[in-house]
C-alpha cells in the first residue's frame, strides 16, 4: 500500500511539473526558445492567486481563473516586448534575453513586495480526506489532479480540434510556409504564449495550495525541473511534456521516499543529462536531421 501512496503523491507533484512543462514545450515548439521566464510566470501566477484569495476574498476557482487570465496577459506582454524582435537573431541572444527577463521578473517582484515568503491560505480547500482501499486521498491531491487533467484535456482539444490549434501546429512545423498559407504567425505565437503562460499560472496556484509556501524566487527550481520534464518527454511534444512531468514527479517522490530527500533536486538534473546524452530527442520526440 505504501508504494501506491507514493505513486499518488508522485502524480500530484508530477502534474504540477506537467502543467509548467506544457508551456515550455509549446513555446519551444513554436519559436525554438527556452523561455527561462516561464518559471517566473508560474511564480506570478501563485502570487496573483494568493492575493485574489486573501485581498480580494475570491473563492478558489475564481482566483484560479483570474490568475490564469492575468498570467496569459503577462506572457503575451513578455513575448511582444522582449522576444518578438529577436525572432531572427542568433539563438544565444534570445536565450540571454530570456535569462534577463527572468531576473527582471524575480527581482522586480522582490522590489515591489519584498523577499519574504507568504503562507498560502490553508482554508481555501475543505479538509476532506477520502479513504479508498486503504489509500488516503486528501482534498488537495484530488483538486490538483482534477484541475490538471481538465486543463490537459482542454489543451488537447484546443490544439487538435480548433482553428487556432491547427494554426499553432502549422507554425511550429514551418513558420514560413504557414505564413504563405495565410496564417497570421504573430497572432498564433501570441496565442501560444498566452495558453502556455495561463497553464503556468494555474500550476502556480496549485503549487501554492500543495506546498503552502510561496516566495518570489520559487519559480526557479520548479521552472528548471519542468524544463527537464519537457526535454524528457521530447521537447515540442505535448503528450511528451505530460508524461515527462508525471515521470519526473514519480522519480522525485521515490528518491525522497528512499531516504535521499536532499538529493531530490540533483536527481532531476542527472536525468536531464542522461537523457540529453543518450536520447536527445526525448521519449516522444522525433529526430531532426541537421541541415547545412
Partner 1 sequence: MKIGNRSFWLFFLASILLYAVFQVLINMGVLDLYYSNLLINIGINIMLAVSLHLIIGITGQFSIGHAGFLAVGAYTSAIITMKMGLPFEIAILVGGIAAMLAGLVVGIPSLRLKGDYLAIATLGFGEIVRIFFLNIDYVGGAAGMQVTHMTNWTYVFLGTLITVLVVRNFTESTHGRACIAIRENEIAAEAMGIPITYYKVLAFAIGAFFAGIAGALYAHNFYVIQPVNFGFLKSFDILIFVVLGGLGSLSGAVISATFLTLVSTFLQQYPETRMILYSLVLVLVMLYRPQGLMGTKEITDFFSFRKPEKEVGRG
Signed CA dihedral, 275, 279, 285, 288: sign only: positive
CA distance 8 to 54: 29
Give the DSSP H or E segment for 187.
helix 185-211
Choose between 110 and 145: whose C-beta lies nearer to partner 1: 110
Least CB distance to partner 1 at residue 198 (A): 23
* Least spacing, CB of residue 31 vs partner 1, in Å: 12
Give me the least distance between CB of 14 and partner 1, in Å please: 19
Shortest reach from residue 97's CB to partner 1, in Å: 4
Distance in Å, CB of 239 to partner 1, minimum: 21
CA distance 91 to 182: 26
Of 33 and 203, CB closest to partner 1: 33
Q: For residue 178, what is the enclosing H or E element? A: helix 175-180
Residue (4 or 263) nearer to partner 1, CB: 263
Nearer to partner 1 among residue 145 and residue 283 (C-beta):
283
CB atoms within 10 A of CB 156: 14
The cell 507533484 sits on which residue? Answer: 13
SS3 33: coil
When the beta carbons of 76 and 95 are compared against partner 1, the nearer one is: 95
Binding site for partner 1 (CB under 8 A): 32, 34, 82, 85-86, 89-97, 99-104, 106-108, 110-111, 115, 224, 227-228, 231, 262-263, 265-266, 269-270, 272-273, 276-277, 280, 290, 292
Length of the chain: 292
Amino acid at each position: 500500500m505504501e508504494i501506491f501512496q507514493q505513486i499518488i503523491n508522485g502524480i500530484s507533484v508530477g502534474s504540477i511539473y506537467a502543467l509548467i512543462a506544457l508551456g515550455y514545450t509549446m513555446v519551444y515548439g513554436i519559436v525554438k526558445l527556452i523561455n527561462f521566464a516561464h518559471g517566473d510566470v508560474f511564480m506570478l501566477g501563485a502570487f496573483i492567486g494568493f492575493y485574489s484569495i486573501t485581498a480580494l476574498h475570491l473563492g478558489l476557482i475564481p482566483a484560479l481563473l483570474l490568475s490564469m487570465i492575468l498570467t496569459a496577459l503577462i506572457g503575451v506582454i513578455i513575448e511582444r516586448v522582449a522576444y518578438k524582435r529577436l525572432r531572427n537573431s542568433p539563438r544565444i541572444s534570445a536565450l540571454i534575453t530570456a535569462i534577463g527577463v527572468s531576473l527582471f521578473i524575480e527581482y522586480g517582484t522582490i522590489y515591489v513586495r519584498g523577499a519574504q515568503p507568504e503562507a498560502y491560505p490553508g482554508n481555501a480547500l475543505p479538509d476532506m480526506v477520502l479513504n479508498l482501499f486503504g489509500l488516503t486521498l486528501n482534498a488537495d491531491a484530488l483538486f490538483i489532479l482534477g484541475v490538471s487533467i481538465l486543463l490537459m484535456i482542454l489543451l488537447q482539444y484546443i490544439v487538435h480540434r480548433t482553428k487556432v490549434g491547427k494554426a499553432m501546429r502549422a507554425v511550429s512545423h514551418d513558420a514560413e510556409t504557414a505564413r504563405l498559407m495565410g496564417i497570421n504567425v504573430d497572432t498564433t505565437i501570441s496565442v501560444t504564449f498566452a495558453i502556455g503562460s495561463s497553464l503556468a499560472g494555474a500550476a502556480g496556484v496549485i503549487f501554492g495550495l500543495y506546498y503552502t509556501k510561496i516566495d518570489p524566487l520559487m519559480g526557479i527550481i520548479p521552472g528548471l525541473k519542468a524544463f527537464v520534464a519537457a526535454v524528457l518527454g521530447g521537447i515540442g511534444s505535448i503528450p511528451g511534456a505530460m508524461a515527462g512531468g508525471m515521470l519526473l514527479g514519480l522519480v522525485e517522490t521515490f528518491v525522497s521516499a528512499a531516504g535521499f530527500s536532499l538529493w531530490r533536486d540533483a536527481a532531476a538534473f542527472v536525468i536531464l543529462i542522461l537523457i540529453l546524452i543518450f536520447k536527445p530527442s526525448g521519449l516522444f520526440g522525433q529526430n531532426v536531421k541537421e541541415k547545412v
